Chain A
Amino acid sequence: MSKVFIPIANVGRAHEADIYSVTITNPYSISCSGDGYLKLWPNKTLIQEQSTLKDNVISTFVHQTGLHHADAIYSVEPHDVGTVLIIATVSFSGNIHFYQFLEETEELKELDLIDEDLKKKSFWSCTWVKSNDQVVNHRFIATDIKGNTYVWRFMSTDKIVREDEEKAEYKKNLHFEFQGEIPSNEPVFATCVAASSSKGLIATGFANGSVIVSQLSTLRPLYTFEGLGREGVDQNSNSVRSVAFSPAGNLLSVANDSGSYGCVTLYETEFGERIGNLSVPTHSGQTNIGLFAHNGWIFNQAFNPSGEFIATCGYDGKVRVWDVKSKERVSTLNISASDIEIEEDIMLADENGDSLKVPPVFDVQYIAQGTLNGVGNETNEGLCCVCMDRSVRWFREAGGK
């Protein structure tokens, strides 16, 4: 059964340079770009005030070298700490920058969470692991260009136990406690990382085409998946570009290159077995042509909150939605630079003269029901993607439920 997604909002020239990442929290869609800015687009005013989207955006300059990864945690913390929104973003210089969103002033306050000795590492990707159990801490995971994975526990309070009092007191203090490191056997660029809180697993993807799944509690490697991509061609690109766990954690989706194409392979996480590929028909008589999901590299993928569907985006300027159970494609969104509503914000070529008419899609995220405002968004899920034409686009699933 196919799904139809309709565009509900878009903003062209959202940043001055390529937008490499977007993350969705309940109040904001957060984008980061090569221009060094982090921008927060309010979800609740996306539809009413589309022409003034750029006026409503909250932006902060982070680093001159540009930003390529961003992830945020939006959570209600115990012991009267209340709601916190913390954004982590990685700059091309290899630093991780943390910002806390202050709701009263609508400002971003920079936080210093990482120890000085770890700041010297050249980080690449990062992710938050939100825990739904109040006893278990949230975690923050980052990889570096040498292939190591670092894990921190996030704590919102300091526990103070006085001798004369039976009950412990908690004082608000957002801080990290370093849990440990998953060292890499060889210096290979760790391109992506994902974690499942429910199953307690971390998956790190590498540029040489391997994925290592480790235990979140002990940081011990469990499985290594290798040999992804087309075989038999020397130096053929098989870099892993994205890893994603299903919300329940029983599935791991790996997106990797196969030459200039993109493949998605699904693994179940209990025994580490491959259960299939997501692929489009290649219309070829040859049998071993490959199982491609996109006609270009796949930059990111995202499961919907129920884990039934997965959205992938690629260099071919397409966002595809797949049914996880049947492993069939249920929707394809063809992105075109001329889709942008405000004409002067349409960008057809970049500063080097390269065409952006069909802009590669660098990131896609699912939007949970009720996150966006407007008719239909209360009951339907949505998608948000960022493209090389420096645009951010929001879509909603058509029809009622």
Chain B
Amino acid sequence: MKKCLSEYMEVHDTKKSLVQALTPKCRIINMESPIESSSFQETLSTTVMFLLRSLEYSTQTLTLVLYNGKRRNKKIRFPYYGKEPHLKSSGNNVAMLVTLLRTIVERQSKFTTSTIRDIFYSNVELYQNQRNVVYWLGIISRNYKLKSRDELNIVAAQKGLIYSTIHIPVILNINTKCSINADTIELIPYINDLTIIKLDPTNEYNVIVFEKEAIFNKIVTNSINVSTFLKNTIFVTGKGYPDHLTKRFLNRLLLCNERINVKLYVDSDPEGVCIALNYINNCTQTNNIEYKGITLVKLISKRTQLLNLTHREVVLSVNMLLKITTNPQKTLTRTDHGIVTQLQRQLFFFKKGEMNACYI
């Protein structure tokens, strides 16, 4: 039979000892991956098994300790008690973590891959929004010290599109191969940092990157087949700001092949320049990446309607200028000079324009 408070007070005559006596026993589950572990999959399945058993059979409170990549580990107490606010988390968080871990174990065992969007829609009530799924996946991948979140077999949905005038073989690993077919619009394939994109080293290739999907579609769905007049050309669009996969694809393409020239076509506004910088900063190992505009001067010469910059865009432009020009570790390349000139002119003219005016 449980004791009542007065009985406790009789035994414990100080406040400190009373608090200690009333504090429930807590089981600490360290989720962090030990260095000597044989593989991530093995560690994951073992910890998940222990976690589920503890939740099922243990009558004690649980404290989950997750390595967060920071000095302080992330701790979750379930159910919550005490006065430490950093341990406070809703039961929902534990449910999300456990469900995600179970899903990952399942995907790992079956060698299947899901998108973040699929996971979110598999239990909308639990996850509430897609950001929560991304957040917890980030914590899990950091906890197991994974190089990439994609190793969890849960990846972001593809966003970028590719159209190639040639067939491109893609070697994902020793066993898995895929390819990008010629003259078809395809989603950029799932690749990792070890993927090899094979192109004939004797030929020179042009990769044309468009900010806008509309321009990409306009060019590749031309009534005359693009490959009849453009040889060895690959068209890519990231549909605005590129996702990780599109950037990684371009990066792998440039690293696997020396004779590739990337040409970036973006809007003549600060956002466009920011998108171009996103691609450029992702491919720092090579100078074969060129900013081609569209420049404000070209839009002015076409007498298209230009809009005034907003206050937010002015601030964005100034910040980008500062970032490019005040980096002491980098000497400005020709592309950087072109971008600086473009940003300065946008600010001086106080105008912005869209590339659609020239290509559609």
Q: A65-B322, A189-B308, A352-B291 are in contact. Are A17 and B340 (CB under 8 A)?
A: yes
Q: A17-B340, A18-B341, A189-B309 are in contact. Are A352 and B293 (CB under 8 A)?
A: yes
Judge if B165 is at the interface, Cβ distance under 8 Å. Answer: no
Q: How large is the interface on B (under 10, 10 to 19, 20 to 34, 35 or more residues)?
A: 35 or more
Contacts of A395 in B (CB 8 A): none
CB within 8 Å of A: which B287-345 residues: 291-293, 295, 297-298, 300, 303, 305-309, 311, 314-315, 318, 321-322, 325-326, 334, 337-338, 340-345
Q: A34-B344, A93-B322, A352-B342 are in contact. Are A235 and B297 (CB under 8 A)?
A: no
Whether A352 pairs with B341 at a CB distance below 8 angstroms is yes
CB within 8 Å of B: which A340-358 residues: 350-354
A274 to B340, CA, bound (A): 40
Contacts of A351 in B (CB 8 A): 334, 337-338, 341
Q: A350-B341, A351-B337 are in contact. Are A93 and B308 (CB under 8 A)?
A: no
- Which of B11-19, B46-54, B347-355 interfaces with chain A? B347-355
A202 to B323, CA, bound (A): 35
Q: A17-B341, A122-B318, A239-B308 are in contact. Are A64 and B348 (CB under 8 A)?
A: no
A237 to B352, CA, bound (A): 11
Whether A189 pairs with B321 at a CB distance below 8 angstroms is no
Whether B341 pairs with A260 at a CB distance below 8 angstroms is no
**Beta-carbon contacts of A268-298 to B below 8 Å, as 1s and 0s?**
0000000000000000000000000000110
Number of A-B contacts (CB under 8 A): 91
**Beta-carbon contacts of A366-390 to B below 8 Å, as 1s and 0s?**
0000000000000000000000000
Whether A93 pairs with B321 at a CB distance below 8 angstroms is yes
A94 to B351, CA, bound (A): 18
B322 to nearest A CB, angstroms? 6
How many of A's residues come within 8 Å of B, CB to CB?
A: 35
User: In chain B, what residue has the closest Cβ to A65?
Assistant: B321
Whether A145 pairs with B314 at a CB distance below 8 angstroms is yes
User: In chain A, what residue has the closest Cβ to B309?
Assistant: A189
Contacts of B311 in A (CB 8 A): 145-146, 187, 189
A239 to B295, CA, bound (A): 20
A353 to B340, CA, bound (A): 14
Whether B321 pairs with A354 at a CB distance below 8 angstroms is no
A350 to B315, CA, bound (A): 25
Of A122, A145, A259, most buried by chain B (CB within 10 Å of CB) is A145
Whether A68 pairs with B348 at a CB distance below 8 angstroms is yes
Whether B308 pairs with A68 at a CB distance below 8 angstroms is no
Contact of B347 among A64, A92, A208, A239 (CB under 8 A): A92
A288 to B325, CA, bound (A): 46
Whether A92 pairs with B321 at a CB distance below 8 angstroms is yes
Whether A66 pairs with B300 at a CB distance below 8 angstroms is no
Contacts of A189 in B (CB 8 A): 308-309, 311, 314, 350
Contacts of B343 in A (CB 8 A): 92
**Beta-carbon contacts of A205-229 to B below 8 Å, as 1s and 0s?**
0011000000000000000000000
Q: A145-B311, A352-B341, A354-B298 are in contact. Are A237 and B322 (CB under 8 A)?
A: no
Contact of A17 among B293, B318, B344 (CB under 8 A): B344
B140 to nearest A CB, angstroms? 41
Q: Which residues of B contact A (CB under 8 A)?
A: 291-293, 295, 297-298, 300, 303, 305-309, 311, 314-315, 318, 321-322, 325-326, 334, 337-338, 340-345, 347-351
